[in-house]
Every structure is written in structure tokens, then in C-alpha cells.
């Protein structure tokens, strides 16, 4: 059995987890998240300096709690991991310095994890984890991507958003509708009793310079503008916006687009499993629609467990366990952190010089 301590501090959630690999899969022995969402909400977005300070305050307690809950000590672990890119540099630094300090003190290997590598690994925490090859729809606040994961774990990006990420669209439209941050859960709640067919909204196709459209790419900026126009027109008619119908129509078109392009990509690349990860993968309408249309198309749909869709440290632990299983060398203790870092360069998060 292999057990790791993992930390995640790339944005506004401080998180720690202990994850173990045992026969047949991975098991989360303990995981904790201290969210700063409410504190940032009053500023209308994440304030990097506040995020770093709150991580400094929260992280030592979270680590203490997960070690206690898992009845273990750092000495008994096989590695200490943390997210080092991409994200807010000051925030990443807090988790990374803590992980490297614990690793050095206890002479454990340190593993530097890419945040998206974590999201991708989150599906391995499901009851019956899927085996590659499969197509991953990664939908979060910062990314909307279709990634093919091959038999030996190699990744190839087949689709992406050309402007906003799906989660970003949820957050911006929620603000437009006067709903709270983060927008995804707020829109989901408002949409529950709504009529999803009331407003016709655009599906945002991306034109190829040589003609036609990119079949697996996304664009959400036109949808955002269409929502704005719709809201403006409705406000001329009445003070009271039909919030439920607006939220449901928006949620439906986003789900439709994600499902149609993902399943088309599966079909055209002969992939029979579709994996959904990231914060937006927590969306009930999207999960339901993907499962229904997937079943009709003969594609098995596997989602990350709900608790591990939005940012958490268990997914970072899962990515660390995958690295250990592949025999990847530990990362250098002198490794830095980086605000931007491409996922296909994740294997470079190992050595000197630091990836600033």
C-alpha cells in the first residue's frame, strides 16, 4: 500500500488530504477543505493577497486534522505532494513551501503536481475507476478542454474553449442575474424549477479560418452576450426577471453543447468511455444529460465523485499516487511555483530550475 499527504492551495480553497492506493483502487483516508469563498465574495472576486494569508492560517490546522483522522504521521507516508502550477503564485507558494518543508524534515519524497493533472486524476477516486483509453471533458472555472488519455497515460488535447471557460460563463451569468458567487451552484439552484426551453440561446461554434467549424471547440462569449441582451429586453417589460427560466435555459444550452461535442469526439476517435471532471462536472443537469445521451450513443460516462469535482486535495493525492505507480522520480525541493504551465509539460515539474 502507498499513502500520500497532498496539499492544494492554487486559488481560494485551502485543502489537505491523505490518499492511499490499495488493491483495486484508491481510497481517501481523510480530506479537509477550508473555503475562503465568503471572504472574497464581498470584493466581487478572489483577492490574491487575502488568499495567501488565509492559506497560511488554515493549512497547518488542516494538515494536523487529516493526519489525526487517518491515524498516521508524516514519517509513515510514502510522499508529500502539493499543487505547484497553475494558479495564484502567492497562494501556490504557501502549499508548496509547507509540502517541501514537511518532506525535507521527514525525509520523504516531494511530488510537485499540476492542478489539471489533479482534476484528471479525480475520477480515479470513483468506486469503479475507468481504465484508459478514454476522453476527458475537463470543465472548471479556468478550463474547458477535451483530452484524450491513452493506454499508458499519455495525453492529447482534442478540444478547448476559445474564450471563457464553462465555469467562468456560469460565474459571469450568475452575476448578471444577481445571483451569488460561485455562480455554478447558484444557477443550478435557481434553474431547478425553471423552463429550460423558454429562451433560445446560441451554441457558440468556432469558425475555422479555412472554412467550416472546429468540431470539438467551444466559445461561451456569444452566449454571455445573448444572456445580457435577453435580460435587458426583459427588464424593459417588467421589474421582475423570470430568473428560474433564464437560469434553466442557460444551464441547458451549456449542457447541450458540452454533451454534443464530447460525444461526437468520442465517436470520431473510437473512444467508448467519457470521463467528466472539474467544478462544472458537479452540475446535475450536465451529469444527467451526459449519462442519458451517452447511454443512447453506447458511450460509458464516468464522473469524478461529487466531492472531488471542485478544487480539493484528494485529487492532488490521486495524481501523486499515479506518478508513484509509474515510477516517476520525485521533484526537486528547490522547485518553484508557476502561475501558468501547460498540462502537457506537467512531467517537467520535477527538476531544477524552478518553473517561474
**Cα distance between residue 345 and residue 119, in whole Å:** 16
- Report which of 104, 101, 116 is spatially closest to residue 8, judged by C-alpha positions: 116
Selected binder of ligand KG4 within 140, 219, 252, 338 (CB under 6 A): 140
Binding marks (x or -) toward ligand KG4, 185..214, rule CB under 6 A? x--x--------------------------
Selected binder of ligand KG4 within 122, 311, 319, 322 (CB under 6 A): 311
What are the two backbone dihedrals, phi and then psi, of residue 92, each rounded to the nearest 5 degrees?
-60, -40
State the nearest-atom distance from the C-beta of 266 to ligand KG4, in Å: 22
- Report which of 309, 214, 196 is spatially closest to residue 253, judged by C-alpha positions: 196
State the nearest-atom distance from the C-beta of 298 to Zn ion, in Å: 30
**Cα distance between residue 159 and residue 262, in whole Å:** 9
State the nearest-atom distance from the C-beta of 229 to Zn ion, in Å: 30
Residue with Cβ nearer Zn ion (158 or 316): 316
**Contact status: 171 vs ligand KG4 (CB under 6 A):** yes
DSSP one-letter string for 289-339: HHHHHHHHHT-EEEE--GGGTSS-SHHHHHHHHHHHHTTPPPPPTT----S
Selected binder of Zn ion within 9, 52, 140, 188 (CB under 5 A): 140
Selected binder of ligand KG4 within 109, 194, 278, 330 (CB under 6 A): 278
Cβ count within 10 A of residue 118: 27
**Contact status: 280 vs ligand KG4 (CB under 6 A):** yes
- Alpha-carbon distances of 17 from 140, 145, 157, rounded to whole Å: 20, 26, 29
Binding marks (x or -) toward ligand KG4, 96..135, rule CB under 6 A? ----------------------------------------
Q: What are the residues binding ligand KG4 (CB under 6 A)?
A: 140-142, 167, 170-171, 182-185, 188, 278-280, 282-283, 310-311
Amino acid at each position: 500500500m502507498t499513502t500520500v499527504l497532498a496539499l492544494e492551495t492554487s486559488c481560494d480553497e485551502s485543502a489537505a488530504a491523505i490518499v492511499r492506493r490499495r488493491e483495486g483502487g484508491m481510497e481517501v483516508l481523510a480530506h479537509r477543505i477550508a473555503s475562503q469563498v465568503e471572504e472574497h465574495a464581498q470584493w466581487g472576486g478572489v483577492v490574491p493577497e487575502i488568499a495567501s494569508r488565509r492559506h497560511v492560517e488554515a493549512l497547518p490546522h488542516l494538515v494536523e486534522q487529516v493526519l489525526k483522522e487517518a491515524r498516521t504521521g508524516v514519517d509513515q507516508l510514502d510522499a508529500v505532494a502539493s499543487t505547484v502550477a497553475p494558479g495564484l503564485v502567492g497562494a501556490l507558494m504557501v502549499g508548496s513551501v509547507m509540502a517541501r518543508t514537511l518532506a525535507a524534515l521527514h525525509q520523504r519524497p516531494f511530488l510537485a503536481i499540476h492542478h489539471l493533472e489533479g482534476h484528471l486524476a479525480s475520477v480515479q477516486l470513483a468506486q469503479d475507476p475507468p481504465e484508459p483509453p478514454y476522453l476527458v471533458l475537463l470543465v472548471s472555472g479556468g478550463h474547458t478542454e477535451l483530452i484524450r488519455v491513452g493506454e499508458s497515460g499519455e495525453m492529447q488535447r482534442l478540444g478547448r474553449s476559445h474564450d471563457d471557460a464553462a465555469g467562468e460563463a456560469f460565474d459571469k451569468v450568475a452575476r448578471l442575474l444577481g445571483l451569488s458567487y460561485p455562480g455554478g451552484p447558484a444557477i443550478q439552484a435557481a434553474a431547478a424549477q425553471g423552463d429550460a426551453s423558454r429562451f433560445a440561446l446560441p451554441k457558440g461554434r468556432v469558425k475555422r479560418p479555412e472554412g467550416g467549424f472546429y468540431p470539438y471547440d467551444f466559445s461561451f462569449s456569444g452566449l454571455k452576450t445573448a444572456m445580457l441582451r435577453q435580460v435587458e429586453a426583459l427588464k424593459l417589460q417588467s421589474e421582475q426577471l423570470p430568473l428560474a427560466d433564464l437560469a434553466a435555459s442557460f444551464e441547458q444550452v451549456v449542457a447541450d453543447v458540452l454533451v454534443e461535442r464530447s460525444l461526437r469526439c468520442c465517436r470520431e476517435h473510437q473512444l467508448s468511455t467519457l470521463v467528466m471532471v472539474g467544478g462544472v462536472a458537479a452540475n446535475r443537469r450536465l451529469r444527467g444529460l451526459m449519462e442519458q445521451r451517452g447511454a443512447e450513443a453506447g458511450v460509458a460516462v464516468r464522473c469524478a465523485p461529487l466531492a472531488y469535482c471542485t478544487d480539493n486535495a484528494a485529487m492532488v493525492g490521486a495524481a501523486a499516487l499515479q506518478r508513484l505507480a509509474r515510477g516517476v522520480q520525485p521533484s526537486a525541493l528547490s522547485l518553484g511555483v508557476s502561475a501558468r504551465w501547460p498540462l502537457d509539460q506537467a512531467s517537467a515539474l520535477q527538476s531544477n530550475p524552478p518553473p517561474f
